[in-house]
């Protein structure tokens, strides 16, 4: 290939925004030549590589903007530690059908059983599948909504929270909300009604106390649970797993 042609290909690729092709076309052409690749195979190879590079960039950027506290996947989850949790149930959720079916997932259980881990794993899987995701704790969410309200921007903030295909609201129930806060949470849930969300939280019977208002709690749960997969994890805490051996057993009193 003449250097003039090569330069023209690089210039045109750059004008078309095909950065990876511009960078690699000379090397790819040499490899295609020695492998005696057909014309169509070569074009296919160039375009596929460009798409793969873009897709991995999109995935990395989306993860950075997602608010996820870490990026553990469902493959990192040790199901043998939670025998009460059927791996198949989690794998079914990871097919992301709940997003196309516009339903919700609630993950319930005591601290340390992996609720956040599974919620993050599902969010990473959704991001990989090209879905937009956003992760927040209820506490942060309420703080943002209050700040927006104080600046007369609540409708815009609520509209922003409608954008992600999947919204994860973690740690529902760790801190109690006052009535205004619970009201804002209700506004969000009723807007996102039937638009994929995950919450990871206390048992529903305790939501009245958490939200400081039984009527509001019932109204929120009514919407959240209308189309909802509930994943209850009730096994041991993974956080305490390595400490179990360190706990000295208490001797029964001598009788
Ligand atoms: P929860 O949200 O239920 O309080 P987390 O998901 O934060 O618990 O889990 C606590 C820590 O233990 C995290 O680092 C998580 O990745 C890890 N973990 C929990 N369960 C498992 C498990 N079954 N396999 C592997 N890691 C786990
Ligand atoms: Mg958690």
- Does the beta carbon of 111 lie inside 6 Å of ligand 1? yes
Q: In this model, does residue 248 exceed pLDDT 50?
A: no
- Does the beta carbon of 72 lie inside 6 Å of ligand 1? yes
For residue 249, the model assigns a pLDDT of 45
Q: What confidence tier does 255 reach under pLDDT thresholds 50, 70, 90? A: very low
Q: Which of 248, 174, 169 is nearest to 210 (CA)?
A: 174
Q: How far away, in angstroms, is 79 Cα from ligand 2 center?
A: 17
**CATH code, residues 74-232:** 3.40.50.300
Q: In this model, does residue 245 exceed pLDDT 70?
A: no
Q: In whole angstroms, give the CA distance from residue 118 to residue 90.
A: 8
Q: How far away, in angstroms, is 109 Cα from ligand 1 center?
A: 12
For residue 244, the model assigns a pLDDT of 59
Q: How far away, in angstroms, is 206 Cα from ligand 2 center?
A: 17
Q: In this model, does residue 247 exceed pLDDT 70?
A: no
- Cβ–Cβ under 8 Å, residues 106 and 234: no
pLDDT, one tens digit per residue, over 180-237 is 898 999 999 888 887 877 787 778 888 888 888 888 888 888 888 888 889 999 999 9
Q: What confidence tier does 114 reach under pLDDT thresholds 50, 70, 90? A: very high
Q: In whole angstroms, give the CA distance from residue 20 to residue 45.
A: 12
For residue 97, the model assigns a pLDDT of 92
Average pLDDT over residues 72-100: 94
For residue 253, the model assigns a pLDDT of 53
- Cβ–Cβ under 8 Å, residues 231 and 82: no
- Ion ligand 2: residues, CB within 5 A, are 115-116
pLDDT, one tens digit per residue, over 89-99 is 999 999 999 99
- Does the beta carbon of 59 lie inside 6 Å of ligand 1? no
Q: Which of 200, 187, 196 is nearest to 146 (CA)?
A: 187
Ligand 1 atom at shortest distance from the alpha carbon of 233: 3
3-state helix/strand/coil string of the chain = CCHHHHHHHHHHHHHCCCHHHHHHHHHHHHHHHHCCCCHHHHHHHHHHHHHHHHHHHHHHHHHHHCCCCCCCCHHHCCHHHCCCCCHHHHHHHCCCHHHHCCCEEEEECCCCCCHHHHHHHHHHHHHHCCCCEEEEEHHHHHHHHHHHHHCCCHHHHHHHCCCCCEEEEEEECCCCCCHHHHHHHHHHHHHCCCCCEEEEECCHHHHHHHCCCHHHHHHHHHHHHHCEEEEECCCCCCCCHHHHHHCCCCCCCCC
Q: In this model, does residue 254 exceed pLDDT 70?
A: no
pLDDT, one tens digit per residue, over 143-182 is 999 999 999 999 999 999 999 999 999 998 888 888 889 8
| Phi, psi angles (nearest 5°) of residue 183 | -65, -40
Ligand 1 atom at shortest distance from the alpha carbon of 200: 2
Q: In whole angstroms, give the CA distance from residue 49 to residue 20.
A: 8
Instruction: Please tell me which residue, 80 or 248, carries the higher pLDDT value.
Output: 80
The closest residue, in CA terms, to atom 6 on ligand 1 is 114
pLDDT, one tens digit per residue, over 7-64 is 999 999 999 999 999 999 999 999 999 999 999 999 999 999 999 999 999 999 999 9
Q: Which of 84, 108, 114 to mutate to test the pocket of ligand 1 (most atoms within 8 A of CB)?
A: 114
Ligand in nearest proximity to the CA of 90: 1
Q: In this model, does residue 135 exceed pLDDT 90?
A: yes
- Does the beta carbon of 38 lie inside 6 Å of ligand 1? no
Q: What is the pTM of this model?
A: 0.86
- Does the beta carbon of 165 lie inside 6 Å of ligand 1? no
Q: How far away, in angstroms, is 146 Cα from ligand 1 center?
A: 30
15: which 2 tokens?
Answer: 């004008």
Average pLDDT over residues 50-79: 96
Q: Locate the domains of the chain by residue range.
A: 3-65, 74-232
């Amino acid at each position: 290939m003449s250097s003039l042609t090569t330069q023209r290909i690089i210039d045109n690729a750059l004008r078309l925004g095909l950065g990876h092709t511009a960078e690699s076309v000379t090397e790819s052409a040499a490899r295609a030549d020695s492998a005696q690749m057909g014309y169509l195979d070569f074009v296919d190879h160039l375009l596929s590589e460009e798409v793969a590079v873009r897709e991995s960039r999109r995935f990395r950027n989306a993860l950075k903007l997602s608010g996820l506290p870490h990026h553990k996947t469902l493959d990192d989850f040790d199901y043998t530690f939670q025998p009460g949790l059927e791996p198949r149930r989690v794998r079914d959720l990871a097919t992301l059908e709940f997003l196309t079916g516009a339903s919700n997932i609630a993950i319930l259980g005591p601290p340390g059983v992996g609720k956040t881990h599974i919620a993050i794993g599902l969010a990473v899987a959704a991001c990989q599948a090209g879905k937009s995701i956003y992760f927040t704790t209820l506490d942060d969410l309420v703080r943002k909504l209050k700040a927006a309200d104080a600046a007369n921007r609540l409708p815009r903030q609520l509209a922003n929270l409608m954008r992600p295909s999947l919204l994860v609201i973690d740690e529902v129930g760790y801190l109690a909300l006052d009535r205004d806060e619970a009201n804002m949470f209700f506004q969000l849930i009723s807007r996102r009604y039937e638009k994929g969300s995950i919450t990871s939280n206390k048992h529903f019977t305790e939501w009245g106390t958490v939200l400081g208002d039984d009527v509001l709690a019932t109204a929120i749960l009514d919407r959240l649970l209308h189309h909802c997969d509930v994943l209850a994890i009730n096994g041991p805490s993974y956080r305490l797993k390595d400490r179990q051996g360190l706990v000295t057993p208490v001797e029964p009193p001598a009788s």
